[in-house]
Amino acid sequence: MLSGPSGVGKSTVVAHMRKAHPEVWLSVSATTRKPRPGEQDGVQYFFVDDEEFDKLIANGELLEWAEFAGNRYGTPRQAVLDRLEAGEPVLLEIDLQGARQVRETMPEAQLVFLAPPSWDELVRRLTGRGTESPEVIERRLAVAKVELAAESEFDVTLVNTSVEDVARELLALLR
Ligand X SMILES: Nc1ncnc2c1ncn2[C@@H]1O[C@H](COP(=O)(O)OP(=O)(O)OP(=O)(O)O)[C@@H](O)[C@H]1O
Single-letter code of the amino acid located at 9: G
Tell me the closest approach of the beta carbon of residue 118 to ligand LQESDW3C, in angstroms. Answer: 19
Residue with the CB atom nearest ligand LQESDW3C in the bound state: 98
Rounded-to-integer distance, Cα 18 and Cα 55, Å: 31
Number of Cβ atoms within 10 Å of the Cβ of 2:
26
Distance CA 108, CA 14 (A): 21
Q: Which parts of this chain interact with ligand LQESDW3C (CB under 6 A)?
A: 6, 10, 29, 33, 64-66, 68, 73-75, 93-95, 97-98
Q: Which of ligand X, ligand LQESDW3C, none does 8 bind, CB closer than 5 to 8 A by kind?
A: ligand X
Q: Are 26 and 93 in contact (CB under 8 A)?
A: yes
Can you tell me the distance from the alpha carbon of 91 to that of 89, in angstroms, rounded to the nearest whole number?
7
Question: Minimum distance between the CB of residue 102 and ligand LQESDW3C, rounded to whole angstroms?
Answer: 9
Q: Letter for the amino acid at 10?
A: K
Among ligand X, ligand LQESDW3C, none, what binds residue 29 when CB lies within 5 to 8 Å by partner kind? ligand LQESDW3C
Q: How far is the CB of 86 from ligand X (least distance, A)?
A: 27
